[in-house]
Amino acid sequence: MLLFESLYNDSLNLLEGLLHIEALSGKEKKKADVLFEQLRVWGLNPQRLENNVWLDFHPPHATKTIWMHSHMDTVPATSSWESKPFEGNWYDGKLIALGSNDAGASVVSMLAAFRLLVASEFPERLIWVAGAEEENSRPNGISSLLNILPPADLALIGEPTGMKAAVAERGLMVVDGVVYGKAGHAARNEGDNSIYKAMADIDFYRRVRFDKVSDTLGEVGLNLTIIHAGNKHNSIPDACYYTLDIRLNEHYTHDEVLHYLQANTLGELSCRSKRMKASATPKEHEIWAVLNKLGMEVYGSPTLSDWALIPYPSIKIGPGDSARSHTAEEYILATEIEEAITGYVKLISNYGKQN
C-alpha cells in the first residue's frame, strides 16, 4: 500500500512536470530528455532511440512479452484555449493542460503499473514505452522500434478510453480522385463537363455499402469530404478533383477497397497511404478470457492510434475520455490515474497467469 501511494504521487508529479514542456509531434526532445533523466534518478535503466524512451524488465524464465506503450507528443493547442495549455497544475484533483488526457495520463499510469509489477517479481517480460510522433504517425515514432524491441505477445496501447478495452480500431485511407473531361467555352456549350461526369461517382459514393460488417466496428465508413473543379465562370472544367475519407473495419484491406471503388467509378483513384490499417484483437487470444473474467467492457474504437502500426495482438486502454482529446481545456482527473494504475496491474497480472 505504501509503495502504491508513493508511485501514485510520483505519477501526479511527473505528469505535471512533463506537461509544462511543449512537445508537438517530431519536437519531443526536451520532454524525452526530462523523462529519461527522471527515470535514471529513480534508479531505473531507461533506453532511448530518437525521442522514444523505454524500460525493459526481463526475468530469466519469462515466457511472454507484454508491451505497455503510450505517447508523449501532442497536437498543437487550438485558439480557443482560455487557460495556458502548458502551465497547468493540479487543482482540486484536476489537471488542465494540453496532452494531459491524450495521452500523458496513460504514460505515467503505465509507468507506475510497470514499477509495481517489477516490485512484485512479475514473472513475464515487460516493456514500457513512452513513444514519439504518434499524433502524425511519422517514422521516428513506434515504427522505428519495431526492429529493436522484442515481439509482443500482447501490447497495451495507452489512450483515453475510460479504462474500457478497445478490442478493435478503425483504419484510415484517404483517397484522391480525378475525373477528366474536356475544356470548352460555356457560352457555346463546348467541351465535356468534368463536374457532370463526376456526379456519377458522387452518387455511387453516397450509396455504396460494403458487405462485411464487423461485430465491433460496424460497416466501412466512406465520406466525400473535398471537391474542386474549374476556376472561371465561363469555362467548362476539364478536371474535377475530389477526396474521400474512408474508415476501414478489420475485414477489408486498403487495396481491396481501392480496387472495388476503381471498378465502379470513372475517376482515377489513388490512396495517399496504406499504413493506417484496421486492427482487431484475435478472438482466440488469451486476453479475451482475462477481459471476460474481469468483467471489462469492450468496444470498437473509431479513432486511430499507434495500434495501426503495431503488428502484434493488442488492446487500447487508458485513463481519460477520448472526447476531451484535441480540445481546449483538455484535462485529466487524479482519480482516473489512480484507477488506471490499479486497472493495468490487475489486467497484466491476470494475463500473466494464462497458459
Q: In terms of Cα–Cα distance, which of 116, 8, 113, 136 is closest to 67?
A: 113
The identity of residue 259, as a single letter, is H
Cβ atoms of 330 and 97 closer than 8 Å: yes
Strand partners, 243: 176, 226
Instruction: Indicate the CATH number of 171-271 among 3.30.420.40, 3.30.70.360, 1.10.10.60, 3.90.220.20.
Output: 3.30.70.360
Per DSSP, 160 falls in state -
SS3 46: coil
Lowest mean pLDDT among 119-133, 177-191, 323-337: 177-191
Residue 355 — very low, low, confident or very high, per pLDDT cuts 50/70/90?
Answer: low
d(CA 315, CA 105): 17
SS3 109: helix
> For residue 296, what pLDDT is reported?
96
- For the residues 170-175, what does the mean pLDDT come to? 96
> For residue 218, what pLDDT is reported?
94
Cβ atoms of 325 and 97 closer than 8 Å: no
Residue range 2-169+278-352 forms a domain whose CATH class is alpha beta
Q: Per the structure block, which three cell numbers stand in for 309? A: 502500426
> For residue 27, what pLDDT is reported?
94
Asked, colleague to colleague, whether 2-169+278-352 and 171-271 share their fold, the answer is: no
Cβ atoms of 331 and 90 closer than 8 Å: no
Tens-digit pLDDT profile for residues 112-121 = 999 999 999 9
Tens-digit pLDDT profile for residues 221-279 = 999 999 999 999 999 999 999 999 999 999 999 999 999 999 999 999 999 999 899 99
Domain ranges of the chain: 2-169+278-352, 171-271
